[in-house]
Amino acid sequence: MLFSSTSTANGDCGRASIILASKDKHQVRVHSLRTNALGDVFVRVFQFEDEFSHTHPVVALTVGNNFDRMVPLVRVHSRCLYGEVFGSLDCDCLPQLQLTWQAFIHEKSGILIYLEQEGRGCGLISKATAYEMRQEEGLDTVEAYRRLGLPLDARQYSTAAVILKELGLDNVRLLTNNPAKISGLVAAGIGVQPVHLRSEPTKWNHDYLVVKQVKLGHDLGFGADQSSGQWEDWRGRGGPWKDPRNVVVRPREQFEGDWRGLGGIPQ
Ligand SMILES: [Zn+2]
């Protein structure tokens, strides 16, 4: 089986595209792990025979084991050092991860695939440069990436699709607001039913989130009043969620709509 990049329109920051060959081209290490929030989980560390993944193995964390009886909740998450480690309030990466944990706890199952795609796939130095331009010149993240000549989003999801298939899954409920993530997995043969992650905007990340919705097409639930009218244009085209080419919806009983949080992690 051969998978190549699914984000042909976005480029790859000059990095070699991920080309994954047959299953014997990667190795997997599996072990259990005791965690604070999720209890006992399984961790699978994949190392693929390509330049990118050799440096940055891909991790799949699984909670529960009832994936044969229900379409699992899946989060495909790209690394964000600032949010996840430093607790940055300027983005919504940590809240999305926390909502993912809450969803997994609620269902007692779920799968997180963690991809080393910092800075929307362009690396930490690009991300830091964009932050610098934002603070010194007032550019938003999209304007900064354009000025730098970088693709607005170079992340790829074919690796995640390979891992899902290795786990025996070809149909998932995907915790995401990002249509590119959906179309990337669908293009790689995974059926996707999107489940939005709805974190409350803060005064620090509000403008960033509006840019994310208006300029990058993420569905963050902002209304027209909060996105200076451009949201109406986007919605007028039907939006990526309503485009059957982007979304493969398989009806499932347990679909419960958007995740808005459960008021704290249940004990
Ligand atoms: Zn972040």
CATH code of the domain containing 115: 3.40.50.10990
Contacts of 32 (CB under 8 A, 6+ apart): 40, 41, 42, 43
Closest CA to 182 of 196, 166, 169: 196
Q: Does residue 114 sit within a domain?
A: yes
Q: Which domain holds residue 140?
A: 23-229
Question: Could you read off the pLDDT of 211-224 as tens digits, one per residue?
Answer: 888 888 888 777 64
Confidence of residue 4 (pLDDT cuts 50, 70, 90): very low
As a whole number, the mean pLDDT across the chain is: 75
Full 3-state SS string of 6-29 = CCCCCCCCCCCCCCECCHHHEEEE
Q: What pLDDT was estimated at residue 55?
A: 63
Question: Could you read off the pLDDT of 171-181 as tens digits, one per residue?
Answer: 999 998 898 89
Q: Output the CA 215–ligand 1 centroid distance in Å.
A: 17
Contacts of 231 (CB under 8 A, 6+ apart): 213, 214, 222, 223, 224
Q: Does residue 7 sit within a domain?
A: no
Total domains, the chain: 1
Q: What pLDDT was estimated at residue 200?
A: 77
Q: Output the CA 195–ligand 1 centroid distance in Å.
A: 19
Residue 194 scores a pLDDT above 70 = yes
Q: Does residue 239 sit within a domain?
A: no
Q: What pLDDT was estimated at residue 11?
A: 47
Q: What is the mean pLDDT of residues 22-41?
A: 82
Q: What pLDDT was estimated at residue 218?
A: 84
Q: Does residue 1 sit within a domain?
A: no
Cα separation, 106 vs 262, in Å, equals: 9
- DSSP code per residue over 64-100: -S-TTTSPPEEEEEE--HHHHTT--SSSSHHHHHHHH
Q: Output the CA 41–ligand 1 centroid distance in Å.
A: 24
Question: Could you read off the pLDDT of 246-263 as tens digits, one per residue?
Answer: 333 333 334 445 555 444
Confidence of residue 3 (pLDDT cuts 50, 70, 90): very low
Q: Which of the pair, 13 or 179, is modelled with greater confidence?
A: 179
Q: Does residue 248 sit within a domain?
A: no
Q: Output the CA 1–ligand 1 centroid distance in Å.
A: 33
Q: Does residue 234 sit within a domain?
A: no
Q: Does residue 83 sit within a domain?
A: yes
- DSSP code per residue over 113-126: EEE--TTTTT-HHH
**Element housing 173 (H / E):** strand 171-175
Q: Does residue 250 sit within a domain?
A: no
Q: Output the CA 68–ligand 1 centroid distance in Å.
A: 33
Of all residues in the chain, the percent with pLDDT exceeding 90 is 34
Q: Which of the pair, 104 or 1, is modelled with greater confidence?
A: 104
> Does pTM surpass 0.85?
no
Question: Mind telling me the catalytic residues?
Answer: 153, 155
